[in-house]
Amino acid sequence: MKPSWPSVFSFSVVIAFATQEASAREPAKLILNTGAVAPFTSPDRSGFLDHAIKEIFERIGRLAEVTVHDGNARALLLANDGTEDGAAMRVAGLERNFPNLVRIPEKLIDNFFGAFAAGREPETFEPEIFARHQTAYISGWQVFERIVPPSPNVTRVQDARQLFDLLRNGRTEIVLYESSQGRHHLREQNIAARLLEPPVFRTEMFIYLHKKHAGLVDGAARALAEMKRDGRWDRIFADTLGSE
């Protein structure tokens, strides 16, 4: 005997409500933002951060992914006000300016920040470079905001495309940027420039979560430390950044 329409309808309603209830219980995917581009992120999610963030949070039972914003300052505001769930690959100490962000204490990676020059000079990086040469960097990059003194020689731009356009067009002599991403931009835009040695500095980079996710901080720190012990972090690094 075929079931009556009311019975079929009732069964469908029960399934629909059960599905909705299960979905409501399932935690939403965490969205962590960054200003980093290739090789740290990629549209096909094959970058270092794409893999690392996904696995760190999978190990504590959460789904997470990275979204990229051109403007670092805007990205941090979105993380701080809770519109997005956190920020990936950021310097220590952001809590002072963004009090709603909680830092995962286990270091994610070391970044090398450098000076790229297109002309014959300078040959090496020196602290006095900012006084002698036209210099540009991206507004909101805290690592440079702290060390570059105000000067008529210094230009602040909104994103990496503007930054490297200045260098290619000869409108600045030096651009300050993260080393791996900088080399990527030089290749992509076919700019004849070089990274000066030594790097401007090396700094530890961290993950931050909005305070509403503070309960995940300790677990995420343990997961990241475990990835370093079991070799998974090294494999992700080699696959995504090893050739940089």
Q: Which residue has the higher pLDDT, 11 or 73?
A: 73
**CATH code 3.40.190.10 region(s) in the chain:** 9-110+203-241, 112-201
96: Cβ contacts below 8 Å, ≥ 6 apart = none
Whether residue 131 is predicted with pLDDT greater than 90 in this model: the reply is no
Mean pLDDT of the chain: 88
Mean pLDDT for the stretch of residues 60-88: 93
Q: Does residue 3 have a pLDDT over 60?
A: no
Of the chain, the percentage scoring pLDDT greater than 90 comes to: 67
Instruction: Tell the CATH topology of 9-110+203-241.
Output: D-Maltodextrin-Binding Protein; domain 2 (3.40.190)
pLDDT at 4 over 90: no
Segment 218-238, tens digit of pLDDT? 999 999 999 999 999 999 999
On the question of pLDDT at 151 being above 90, the answer is no
Please determine, for residue 8, whether its predicted confidence score (pLDDT) is greater than 90: no
Q: Which fold has domain 112-201?
A: D-Maltodextrin-Binding Protein; domain 2 (3.40.190)
What value does the mean pLDDT take over residues 91-106? 95
